[in-house]
Structures are given as structure tokens and as C-alpha cells.
Amino acid sequence: MKKPQKNMKPEASKRGPVVKTSSTRKAGTRRPAPLEIEAAPAKQVLLTDVALRDGHQSLLATRMRTEDMLEVADRLDKVGFWSLEVWGGATFDTCLRFLKEDPWERLRAIKRVMPNTRLQMLLRGQNLVGYRHYPDDVVNAFVERASANGVDVFRIFDALNDIRNMEASIAAVRRSNKHVEAAICYTTSPVHSIDRFIDLARRLEDLGTDTLCIKDMAGLLAPMDAYTLIRGLKAAVRVPIHLHSHYTSGMASTSALMAILGGLDMLDTALSPLSGGTSHPPTETFVALLRGTPYDTRLDLQTLPPIAEVLRMARKKYHQFESDFAGVDSEILLSQIPGGMLSNLAAQLTEQNALDKMKAVLEEVPRVRQDFGYPPLVTPTSQIVGTQATLNVLTGERYKVVTTETKNYLQGLYGLPPGPVDETIRRKALGDEPVIAVRPADLLEPELPKAAREVADKTQNPEDVLSYALFPTVANDFFDERASGQLKPEPLAPLPPKGPAVAHELKLAPLEFKVTVHGESYHIKVS
């Protein structure tokens, strides 16, 4: 498998066309300067399909089973994608906890039937695939085992864009001679700017990333900002740029097209049955949209519908996990609350019989985010901010009750917040406890030897030891059920009754009703 070169130079060096537009001006105002869009030189846009990881994580609560992935894996391998995202994120936890599958075996099984395409995973920096920081010995071992089991591309991000939390995993991937794709979490706030993102990109390039991803997890990247950001990045760094943008706000396709005009090299899409809403732009659409243009993906559109049909049928099995927040939600443009976070907030309030407080909680989330220094709302900061906002509303007093996670965040145990934290709230939460200034993982003792000892009577398999180190209780239950032959995934709800294929199949029962017109009543019976 040929690894892409660090500097993927455009195939044509000719300057692209310049499109000039000018915005409408109000009477008495100065005429604005024309907006010039210079299209990037011609080059093939490379696609990563994320249906088998982020597609079902976004739309089906990460519940797709390996058997359904293997149904399409062989055909996906022949399409010619730059990579296929199939592992990481929430899939590891969900495999063990709900599907009763070994996540490592899933990776091996997919690799066996996808030998020709790079397999990609999402790695949460020092959090790996969990929800807390793990010490470096766990990070190093996890990356080494993931690499050995089939991961070719490691997309690495930190929720706070604290590069210190990405250093260990980036170094581990480089030692494994695999592809590093460092990711920057995109958000908007008074402390975030395009210049700031470009500075982060330069630092990540210096760390040795092979490609650079803009991770727009909430779909907040507006089209013109996408053009400006990608154009700025292309001028500042040599590595190829990859865009990952969720469709939540409805802007992702337009933003992706503007990013391509700005010089984007690579784009995340999802096959149509697992696209749209809180997922990603559809793969088939972009293959068709770019066909015959200077940015042609060179993928054969005819290969995709048969694969999509299999996924479309598979999705029906998981109808019980379809979220009410899976469609386009323009509210996010104001609240910046991702769809997954919305559903979590609703679940928390429902448990407390306080769903009527939802509006107040949604108004409180941006205030808590401001208090915390404007962290991007992505795992785990979205959970920390959301839970604290919920408590502030339910208790009737802001920060009367403070979660352990909030205390750890304010103490710096998750990393450095992007902006200044409200010191009054920090003192209220921490008292006299100091704020740490070092890399959070520097305070952690090695955990792998202890994990190996604790499961030695059940397994010595290195992948099992890592599963236990990441999720001790869940993994322990999994090992016991596996040993007793009792591994059973959570049941799937029966499919709802199939509706009639055509209208004339409808059989209506007789209807009787009374109609009053101008004071006179008519008894009507329809049979």
C-alpha cells in the first residue's frame, strides 16, 4: 500500500478562475470591496467514507454490528477510497458494552476482507477511545496493538486542541510506521479565529503529522469560512488537508465545495443510507458533483448504489436507535450544541422528570461554555458542559452542585482551556486546590502492569488487557460472559409492519361521521 506523500502537489499549476461578487449595500454606506474567489488548481479530490464508523455512530447510536459491515466490506474495498473509517470513537465501548463483540476481532475481520484500502480510526488523543486520560504506557500499547491488528491511519484529536494531549499518540503512531492524521476541532467563539487554527496547524506539522484534518463535529463551518480557512492552511503548511464536517446545520455540502475551491485535498463523506442529518454529506453526491470538473474524485459512481442498497436494508434493523435529533437542526447555528449532545440532555432531563426545563438548559449551555473558556463541544467536554448546565438549572443556583468532571476540568486535568476561565467559578469549585500547569498525563502512573495482574486469571491476551485497562467493569463482564458462552447482544426490536407497496392496496374500514353545514346535519357513511 503506497503511503501518500507529505506534499501532494496539484497536478496542474495553472491559476484557477476568479469569481467576483459584491454584497448588497444599504443606502448611504460605503461600497464594499468585491469578494474574490480564486479556484484552486486542478487536482483529484480524495474521499474517505465514514459510514462504517461515524455514519452509524451519528445516526444509529453506534449500534451497527460487524456482520452488517462485512456484508459490504469486500465491495467497498474495490471502490478506490483513499481510506475507510471503520474503528475508534465510540465503537470500541459499544462493541463491549452493548453488542457483546470483541472490538479487536471486528478490526481483524474487516482487515481480512479489505486488504487494499487504508483502514482508519478515530483516536481521542490521550483519551484513546475512552472518556478520561490514560497514562503513556496504555497509549503506547494501544497504538501498537491497533496498528498490528489493521489500523493504517490514525486520526488524532484533543477536545481542547491542547497539543500536549496529542504528543504521545502521534509519537506512538510514527514509531509504528503508520499514517498520522492530526485533527483540529473547529468551533466558533470570541477566542477562536482562523489565524489561531492556522497556528495550531503549523505546530502539528512540526510534530510530524502526515495529513491534517479540520474536524467540524457540529457542522458550524460556514462556506466562506471554509474557503478562507483551507486557503490559509494551504499557504501555511505543506501537508495535505482533510475536511470532516457533520451535516447537522445543513451547511456541510456547500462548505465542502467551497473548501475544495480553496484547495482541499481530502474529504469525508458517508454512503447515502448513513449520510445527512448529524452524519456527513453523501458519498454518491460528491462523486457525481465533482465528476468532469478539475477536482474529479475518479471513483466510479456505478459501483456505489449496490453497496448503498445493502446498507439501506441493514439500517432498518436498527430502527429503535434512530434519534429524534438525527435531522438537520438549524438551532445549532445559535446554540452550537451538537445533535448527540441534545439527545443526551433530553435523556438526562427525562430521567429527572424535568423535560420541561429543556429550554432553560439549552440557554444555560452557552453560559457554562463561556465560563469554562469556550471549549469545543465534543467528547468529553460536551458531556462536562452539558451535565453542569443541567445541574445549574435543576438546582436553581448556578454551580451549587459541581461534578467531579467539572472540578477536574477547571483544575486543568483535561488540558488547557482555549480561553480564560471565570476565576470566581473556579475558586468556588476548587477552593484552595491549585491549577496544574503540566501536561495532565505527566501526573499519571503506569497502569498496564496493574491491569495485566487483575485479569491474569481470565486472560493474558494483550488486546484483552488493553480492553480492561480502558473499560474495567465492562470488559470484566465481557470476559465472564465469553468464558461461559453467554455473549448475547442487546435485542433488536422487531421491524414495524410493512406498509402497502402501492396506494390501491389500502383497505379502509367503513367510516361514519356527521357533517354540519349552515346549521343542517348530514349523516355520511363511507364503505
For the domain covering 337-441, report its CATH number.
1.10.472.90
- Range(s) of the chain covered by CATH 3.20.20.70: 35-321
For the stretch 285-294, pLDDT in tens is 999 999 999 9
Contact predicate 12/269, CB 8 Å: no
In the prediction, which pLDDT does 340 show? 66
pLDDT class for 321, splitting at 50, 70, 90?
confident
pLDDT at 25 over 70: no
Residue type, 166: M
- Range(s) of the chain covered by CATH 1.10.472.90: 337-441
In the prediction, which pLDDT does 343 show? 67
Question: And the C-alpha cell for 458?
Answer: 481470565
The full DSSP string for 84-99 is: EEEEETTHHHHIIIII
State which CATH number among 3.40.50.1460, 3.20.20.70, 3.40.50.150, 3.30.450.370 fits the domain covering 35-321.
3.20.20.70
How many Å apart are CA 294 and CA 41, to the nearest integer? Answer: 8
In the prediction, which pLDDT does 515 show? 43
In the prediction, which pLDDT does 62 show? 93
Question: And the C-alpha cell for 230?
Answer: 483551507
> Helix 103-113 and helix 136-149: axis angle, to 10°?
30
